[in-house]
Amino acid sequence: MITTYLNRRLTPILLALLLLLPFTALAEDAPATPAETVCLQCHAGQPGHLGAPVGLWRDSVHAANGISCHDCHGGDPTDFAMAMSPERGFIGVPQADAIPAFCGRCHIGVQEDYLASKHGQALGKGGPQCVTCHGNHAVQLASLDLINDKDCTRCHTYERAAEIREALAATDARIASLDTELDRLHRTGITVKALKGEIFSQRNSFHRLFHSVDVNRVRAETAGVQANLDKVAAKIDTIHSDLSQRKLWGGVAIALLLVAGVLFILLRRTLPPHEQ
Amino acid sequence: MQKLKAIIDWVDVRIGVKELIVANTSGYLVPRNINVWYSLGTVLLTLFALQFVTGILLLMHYIPDSEKAFASVEHIVNEVPFGWLFRSLHAVGSNIIIVALLLHMLSVLFMGSYKKPRELTWLSGFLLFNLGLILCLTGYLLPWSQLSFWATTVATDAAGAVPVIGSKLVELLRGSPSVGPQTLGRFFALHVVVLPLALLALIGVHLFCVRRIGISTAPFGPDARPATVGDSFHHEEHPNGIPFFPHYTIEEGAVVCFFLALLLAVTFFVPELFIPISALEPANPYVTPEHIKPEWYFLWAYQTLKIFPSKLLGLGAQGALMTFLALLPFLDRSPERRPAKRPLFVALYVIGLVLLIAISFWGHYS
C-alpha cells in the first residue's frame, strides 16, 4: 500500500524532472565569461580614465578582431598580480613621439609610409601621429571620413587633403562595397574568410597610400589595387551565380511539390466513395 | 513483373503478407469525417525520416572535436557537394518538425483525442515531443559556433538551480566544470545514437497504440456523440469509414507535399531564418555575446524564467505545466470530446495558446 501510495506521489515528480530537462535551455542572460582577461576584469569596474578605455575598446575594430589590452600594452592577461609587471612585458602608455613605433609593431607598412611622409617628418615637431587622426581605444576601421575639413584644418589648410581624398574615393568606396557584399554572403552561411582576407589585405595596402599624403603616388598605385579587387569581384559573381542556380532549382522543386499536392487533392476527389 | 509476383507469392505462403497488407491498407477503415489534422502524424514521420537521412549524410563529414567541429561544418556547407543542402534541410527541418509537433498536439488536445482509452497514445506522443526538443537542444551544440557554445552554457547553467544536486547535475551535463570538449562528446553521442534510438522506439510504441486502439472519430458534425468506453479492451472500428489506402493516404500525401514545399521554401530562400548570425562564428569562450536568446520554441520558457523571482521557481512552474499536460488524460476523465460541449476547456485552451504566443514574443523582444 505504501509503495503504491509513494508511486502515485512520486511519479508526477519524476515526470516533472524528466520533462523539465529541455527547458533548462532557457535561462536569463548569459553569465559573464570567467575567461575575460584580468585587464578587463579589473579596469571595467574602475572609475574615470582607468575604466573608460574598456568601454571604448569594446566597440573598437581591435575588439572586433580579438586584439585585446595586452596585445598593445603587454603584460600578463592571466595573472592579476603580474598583469602590469615589466617582467611580463608590460609597456603601459607610450609617449606621444613613441606612438608610431607602438602602433607600428603591427601596422608595419603604414608606419613606413607615415615616417616617409610629411606627417612623419614632422613627428616631435608638432606634427600628427597615429592617435591624432585615429583616436586610441575607440579606434575604428579606417575610412575616408578621417580626411575631413574639420580635422585636417587643425594643423593646415584642407586643399591638398581634399585632393588626396578625391583621388582615393572611388577605390575606397569599391572596397567598402565588396566588403559589405561579402558580409551579406557570410550571413547566408557562405564561407568568405579567404575573400575577406583578400579585401583586408587590399584595404591595408590602399590605406598605406593615405599615409604617404602624396597625391601622385596615390594615382599611380590605385590601378594595381583595382586589378586585385577585380579578382575578388569575379569570385563574388561566381558565388552569386551559384546561389541564383540554387534558388532556381529550389523554386522548381517547390513548384513540383505544390503541383503534386494539388494533384493528390484532385485525385482524392475522383475516387469513388467507399461502400461497405 | 512475373518474377516479383513469384517472390511475393513465395513470401505470402510463409507469412501471409498479402493479408497483412490488405488489413493495413484497403481493408483498414478510418473515420469518414477524418480531417487534415490527422495527417500530421504522417508529416512528422516523413520529416523525421528526412532528419535521419540528412543526419547520416552530415555524419560522414562532421568531426565531433571542439578544435575541428566548426571547420568541419564550414567544410560541409562550402566544399562538400550539396553539403549546404543537407545541412540546411537538417537545421530547417528540425524547426519545421517542432511546428508539426505543436500542431499535432494542439489538434489532439482540441479534439479531445487524448481521452480514455488513448492515454498511452497521448503519453507516448507527449514524450516524443519532449524528445524532439532534447534532440534540438543537443544538436544545437554540435556546430561549435558562438551560439552553440553560449546557448549550451546558459542551458546547462540553469540546471544548477535544482536544490542540493544542482552543481553535480551541471557537471554531469557538461562532463566538466564549464562547456568544453567533453560536453561536445556527450551531446554528440546523445544526438546521434541514444536519442534517435529512443525516438525510434517511442515512435514504434506510439504507432502501435494508434493502430491497436483504432483512430478516434473527429468530434464534429451532427452525429458526433461521446464514446462509451468499457473496462475491457476494444478496438474502435469504423464500419462506415473510408479505406486508409488509397482514400486517406492520398489526402495525407497532399499535406506531406505542402509541408515539404514549406521546408524547401525556407531552405532555399530564407535559410537564415533559423540560423542567427552568432551561429556563423566559431565558439569563443573569451567573448560573451551580448544577448543569447534560445530558439523560438524555447522563448516562452526563457521568458517564464525571467518573470519568476528565482530560477528554481521558474523551473518548478514549467515542470508543473509540463506534468499537467503529460497527465491531462488522467485528470480530464469526462468522455465528452465535442468542443462545443466543453466551453471551459476551449476557453482555457485559447487563453493558454494566446498566453504562450504572447510570452514568446515578450521573450523575443525583451
| Separation between Cα atoms, residue B112 and residue B333, nearest integer Å | 11
Give the end-to-end CA distance of chain A in Å, rounded to a whole number.
51
**SS3 (DSSP) at B242:** strand
- Tens digit of pLDDT for each residue in A139-184? 887 788 888 999 889 888 999 889 888 888 989 999 999 999 999 9
- Tens digit of pLDDT for each residue in A207-227? 888 888 888 888 888 889 999
| Separation between Cα atoms, residue B341 and residue B351, nearest integer Å | 17
What number is the average pLDDT over the span B18-40?
93
The ipTM assigned to this model is: 0.92
**SS3 (DSSP) at B340:** helix
| Mean pLDDT rounded to a whole number for chain B | 93
Instruction: From A252, A260, A258, A182, select the one nearest B268 (Cα to Cα).
Output: A252
Q: What is the pLDDT of residue B80?
A: 96
Query: Could you tell me which residues are beta bridge partners of residue B30?
Result: B242
Q: Which three cell numbers stand for residue A128?
A: 600628427
If phi > 0 it is left, if psi is from -120 to 50 it is alpha, else beta; for residue A271 that is: beta
Q: Does the residue A67 lie in any domain? A: no
Q: Does B119 touch chain A (CB under 8 A)?
A: no
**SS3 (DSSP) at B282:** strand
Q: Does the pLDDT of residue B291 top 80, yes or no?
A: no
Q: Does the residue A52 lie in any domain? A: no
Tell me which of A126-140, B68-82, B117-131, B171-185 is least confident. A126-140
Tell me if B188 sits within 8 A of B64, measured CB to CB: yes
Q: What is the pLDDT of residue A222?
A: 87
Structure pTM?
0.80
Q: Does the pLDDT of residue A33 top 80, yes or no?
A: no
Q: Does the residue A189 lie in any domain? A: yes
Q: Does the residue A257 lie in any domain? A: yes
- Tens digit of pLDDT for each residue in A178-207? 999 999 999 988 999 999 999 999 988 888
Q: For residue A157, report the phi and psi dihedrals to the nearest 5 degrees.
A: -75, 165
| Mean pLDDT rounded to a whole number for chain A | 84
Q: What is the pLDDT of residue B312?
A: 87
Where is B268: in which H helix or E strand?
A: helix B249-269
Q: Does the pLDDT of residue A25 top 70, yes or no?
A: no
Q: What is the pLDDT of residue A275?
A: 62
Residue in A closest to B79 by C-alpha: A191
Where is B148: in which H helix or E strand?
A: helix B146-158
- Tens digit of pLDDT for each residue in A58-72? 888 898 888 999 999
Residue in A closest to B265 by C-alpha: A254
Q: Which three cell numbers stand for residue A107?
A: 601596422
State the smallest CA–CA distance between residue B170 and chain A in angstroms.
10
Percent of chain B scoring above 90 in pLDDT? 80
Percent of chain A scoring above 90 in pLDDT? 45
Q: Does B305 touch chain A (CB under 8 A)?
A: yes
Q: What is the pLDDT of residue A126?
A: 86
- Is B264 close to A268, i.e. CB distance below 8 A? no
- Is B251 close to A268, i.e. CB distance below 8 A? yes
Q: Does the pLDDT of residue A235 top 90, yes or no?
A: yes
- Rounded to 5°, the CA angle B275-B183-A64 comes to 50
Of B155, B269, B289, the CB nearest to A25: B155
Q: Which three cell numbers stand for residue A135?
A: 583616436
Percent of chain B scoring above 70 in pLDDT? 100
CA distance to A194, A238, B81, per residue, from B60 (Å) = 25, 27, 12
Q: What is the pLDDT of residue B230?
A: 81
Largest CA distance in chain B: 73
Identify all chain B residues contacting A262, using CB atoms and an 8 Å cutoff.
254
| Separation between Cα atoms, residue B158 and residue B130, nearest integer Å | 18
Identify all chain B residues contacting A264, using CB atoms and an 8 Å cutoff.
250-251, 253-254, 257
- Tens digit of pLDDT for each residue in B127-143? 999 999 999 999 999 99
Q: What is the pLDDT of residue B265?
A: 98
Burial class (CB in 10 A: 0-12, 13-18, 19+), B45: middle
Q: Does the residue A238 lie in any domain? A: yes
Say which residue, A16 or B364, is predicted with more confidence. Answer: B364
Q: What is the pLDDT of residue B124?
A: 97
Q: Does the pLDDT of residue A31 top 60, yes or no?
A: no
- Tens digit of pLDDT for each residue in B57-78? 999 999 999 999 999 999 999 9
Q: What is the pLDDT of residue A13?
A: 45
| Separation between Cα atoms, residue B137 and residue B212, nearest integer Å | 32
| Separation between Cα atoms, residue B18 and residue B214, nearest integer Å | 21
| Separation between Cα atoms, residue A128 and residue A135, nearest integer Å | 11
What residue type is assigned to position A254 of the chain?
I
Burial class (CB in 10 A: 0-12, 13-18, 19+), B312: middle
Domain housing A241: 161-269
**How many Cβ atoms from other residues are within 10 Å of residue A223's Cβ?**
9
Q: Does the residue A20 lie in any domain? A: no
Q: Does the residue A217 lie in any domain? A: yes
Q: What is the pLDDT of residue A10?
A: 44
Identify all chain A residues contacting B288, using CB atoms and an 8 Å cutoff.
30-33, 36
B:247-286 residues touching chain A, CB 8 A cutoff: 247, 250-251, 253-255, 257-258, 260-261, 264-265, 267-269, 271-272, 275, 277, 280, 284-286
Q: Cα–chain-centroid distance for residue B14?
A: 38
Chain A interface, best mutation among B150, B165, B280, B296, by max A CB count within 10 A:
B280
Number of domains in chain A: 1
State the smallest CA–CA distance between residue B52 and chain A in angstroms.
21
Query: Confidence class of residue A1 from pLDDT cuts 50, 70 and 90?
Result: very low
What number is the average pLDDT over the span B154-171?
87
Q: Does the residue A198 lie in any domain? A: yes
CA distance to A145, A264, B101, B265, B360, per residue, from B96 (Å) = 46, 22, 9, 11, 17
Domains of chain B, CATH where assigned: 1-28 (no CATH), 31-219+239-298 (1.20.810.10)
Query: Confidence class of residue B341 from pLDDT cuts 50, 70 and 90?
Result: very high
Q: What is the pLDDT of residue B305?
A: 86
| Separation between Cα atoms, residue B63 and residue B287, nearest integer Å | 23
Tell me which of A96-100, A209-213, A232-236, B250-254 is least confident. A209-213
